[in-house]
Structure 1
């Protein structure tokens, strides 16, 4: 399943490469192009219910998010063994790196040829009757504004696009009062960022929850409290290195489920795998781990 819009249209340019590389490896395939937001969810759901062996997301984390949601929604209707495959063509490709061990398209083609899979967890966010899965990370606070800024920048390579978005966000963002409760471990403070993770990295390589594992039955959270300007550069450097957990203004939590709340009257925006969501009138999100919910074609999977 190819998203022609991924990375500002760059994914569309790999159509011929995908065909050539899969055919060279003897992988049978059928291509379906998505036509708009949410399209991949329903296509993947139907494919899983029709017992397709693998649905491959050709795009970035947003395409992976939609395909995974389709497979997970199908699972809620009927058990199936359809696996998620990934050919990374997006900006961050964090899930491909974190969970599938795929750092580029050549590795992705080889992984699809070998056909080895692993079972990983998913996250489920529920609010006011709504619900949606995430596979890598969700969050609120500054990262919501970073996602908005990313949509205004399309011509920078790799991690530079994220760094540019972060720097622009720091000029306009103000910390938000947030309360995070993970199995009774509570942080109630103004926050720059709350990230709740199934994978260890976000935003093209920021190691926000460096100890997070996608198959351990729990979620990891990082709560960065409001801090003075002179603390921001060392915090960003710490997140890049995965060493920020020891800083006094950073709290790391681990739990099977979390509740995230804002004061009444505060509008709650959040992101799921980099996709913006509006909580509407909700002032609370319930976030839970769904163990072993997803089969993923992975370069990290062991034979047999």
Structure 2
């Protein structure tokens, strides 16, 4: 895999604690005999613009050094271009890297993976307003969350304290007190399902939130999206069932339905969708798989 490696950096990953990992990663890549350049934007929009300019130069790879949020940003730049995406996980969750077989907690091993240059073609998906043209909208590689989980994200993003994952635990407790099941209308390739539900997750890969296997059987190269629907259950039952998501065994619960589709439409009141942990916007929305849209170094 000759050519330049562009490293896209999120210095705020893991609250800034990943910054110390960057120099040894860059050193490992350069010792592999590669020309390495670093892209660091002043904000997400600036970083994306810089990444797109870099990708237009047709480098050997665009490497995301950060967590799922930065991978999500990098996917906006490389999807559909044929430029390979490398991932050096340096975030809190690193779920997308884990799903693709990239060492999720060993940045130097991930850098060696980039140097070996084995490219795998996988799917990506778009999420956007209903009626949008196929392939338009915002790209995602992992999971779109709608319902209880996305409301926890909304609440957490409004908190200034505590830091890190503790913020999400505080938000979860607060949202649980206020939450009521949501009436969803879900369009699965033309078949409409109406159901009150706690949450709906649309997965190209299997997990989000640092290891929650919400769509445990999702495959990134099968041309389909996995749709997990957790129907309305009492809060006590929800609390008993929720920990099972870390093993993926929640899909055996009678309130859980898993379907597969190429195109998924979601309508629900007062629901904000999150894709790969990043805020997308309110429902209604449509998710659509784009087979083979990503080249990933694995």
Compute the TM-score of the two structures, normalised by the length of structure 2: 0.87
What is the deviation of 1:179? 1.2
Gaps of 5+ in 1: 299-304
Instruction: Give yes or no for contact 1:40–1:67 (8 Å, CA) kept in 2.
Output: no
Give a deviation string over 1:33-87, Cα, whole Å, max 9, x none: 1211223322222222211110011111111001101112xx3xxxx43111111
Q: Does 1:7 align with 2:9?
A: no
Q: Report the Cα distance in structure 2 between the residues aligned to 1:165 and 1:268, rounded to whole angstroms.
A: 16
Instruction: Give yes or no for contact 1:149–1:165 (8 Å, CA) kept in 2.
Output: yes
Matches within 5 A, 1:198-213: 198-213=204-219
Give a deviation string over 1:100-138, Cα, whole Å, max 9, x none: 432221221110110111011001112066721111011
- 1:174 is paired with a residue whose SS is coil
Give a deviation string over 1:133-160, Cα, whole Å, max 9, x none: 1110112101112223444466456xx7
Q: Report the Cα distance in structure 2 between the residues aligned to 1:224 and 1:199, rounded to whole angstroms.
A: 18
What is the deviation of 1:244? 1.4
Against the structure 1 CA distance between its residues 285 and 135, is the aligned structure 2 distance closer, same or farther, given a 3 Å change threshold?
Answer: same
Q: Does 1:255 align with 2:261?
A: yes
Task: Report runs of 4+ in structure 1 exceeding 4 Å deviation.
Answer: 153-157, 160-165
Matches within 5 A, 1:173-252: 173-252=179-258
Aligned residues: 284
Instruction: Please report the RMSD computed on the Cα atoms of aligned residues, expressed in angstroms.
Output: 2.1
- Aligned match of 1:301: none
Matches within 5 A, 1:1-304: 1-72=8-79, 75=80, 80-104=81-105, 105-127=107-129, 131-151=137-157, 152=159, 155=163, 165-262=171-268, 266-279=269-282, 283-298=283-298
- Aligned match of 2:3: none
What is the deviation of 1:275? 0.6
Instruction: Give yes or no for contact 1:121–1:293 (8 Å, CA) kept in 2.
Output: yes
Q: Report the Cα distance in structure 2 between the residues aligned to 1:208 and 1:15, rounded to whole angstroms.
A: 31
Q: Report the Cα distance in structure 1 between the residues aligned to 2:228 and 2:65, rounded to whole angstroms.
A: 29
Q: Report the Cα distance in structure 1 between the residues aligned to 2:171 and 2:92, rounded to whole angstroms.
A: 13
- Aligned match of 2:5: none
Instruction: Give yes or no for contact 2:14–2:164 (8 Å, CA) kept in 1.
Output: no
Instruction: Give yes or no for contact 1:162–1:204 (8 Å, CA) kept in 2.
Output: no
- Aligned match of 1:302: none
Instruction: Give yes or no for contact 2:99–2:206 (8 Å, CA) kept in 1.
Output: yes
Instruction: Give yes or no for contact 2:87–2:102 (8 Å, CA) kept in 1.
Output: no
Instruction: Give yes or no for contact 1:100–1:296 (8 Å, CA) kept in 2.
Output: no
What is the deviation of 1:28? 2.5
Against the structure 1 CA distance between its residues 23 and 161, is the aligned structure 2 distance closer, same or farther, given a 3 Å change threshold?
Answer: farther
